[in-house]
Amino acid sequence: MSKNIVFIIDIKKDGKTKKEYQYSINSWKHFCNKYNHELLIMDAPVVDPEYMGVIWQRYFLFDILDSNQIDYDQILIVDADTIIHPDAPDIFTLTDHKYCLVQDDADFSWICRSIENYHHHLFSEEPIFDCFTYFNSGFQIVNRTHREFFDKMRTFYTENSNTIIECQKAYGVGTDQTPLNFLLRKENIDTKALPYSFNMSCMYSKEILNENMQHTKAGHVMHFNGIPNKDVSVPYWMEKTYNYLYG
């Protein structure tokens, strides 16, 4: 019987998972056990990360499922710096079997700069879209009808890798996220925007990440990105949040 899959990338360094990533994985294990879904961890790169960054390698998803002989219905691709609330609803029942994402409304200066630069260098023939409809790529729900689109994402990277890397270095405009937004529109993919509560990114700037644990009362999936002093504070907040919610 086909199952829904939660897919997380956790490329180990020196054979170990980052401590904070383990909190994420454990929370998603709880979610999968609660709703009878399956958790799949990508713990080794598919290709050399020097050629293709690990984030881009999530678009090998369907090949990974095939190579592991995993039957599936829908797949949630979610970043390893997330924690799902133990009382979260079954996300897979909310999709209408569409390509589901959550809009990113954290830093419109960065979003606009990323759209403008990627448009100038790689998508000049495509219209610039409204920044208020920009999706975060750290939470994506897909199904087998999106396999061809993932192939196109990888082909786009192969044909434009040098320019993509140059844009990242020169402008600090992210990795796959803005190309994903352009290509979803170019290929007319039928998308569904889920509420912010399913990918609560940049909680620090929204002033809901605090010692009162307000973020644990605000939604379902907490995304620990966009936090100052990231190397120190992300592990701290993920450990504190996991222990608060799961004990």
For residue 128, give every residue at least 6 positions away whose Cβ sits within 8 Å of its Cβ, in sequence order, or none.
115, 116, 119
Tell me if residue 29 falls in helix, strand or coil. helix
Extents of the domains making up the chain: 3-99+136-165+190-246
> Per CATH, which fold does 3-99+136-165+190-246 belong to?
Spore Coat Polysaccharide Biosynthesis Protein SpsA; Chain A (3.90.550)
Q: How far apart are CA 247 and CA 244, in angstroms?
A: 6
Q: Rounded to the nearest 10 degrees, how much is the dihedral formed by the CA atoms of 85, 11, 148, 97?
A: -10
Length of the chain: 247
For residue 60, give every residue at least 6 positions away whose Cβ sits within 8 Å of its Cβ, in sequence order, or none.
46, 150, 154
| pLDDT of the chain, 247 residues: tens digit per residue | 789 999 999 998 776 778 999 999 999 999 999 999 999 999 999 999 999 999 999 999 999 999 999 999 999 999 999 999 999 999 999 999 999 999 998 889 999 999 999 999 999 999 999 999 999 999 999 999 999 999 999 999 999 999 999 999 999 898 999 999 999 999 999 999 999 999 999 999 999 999 999 999 999 999 999 998 877 899 999 999 999 999 8
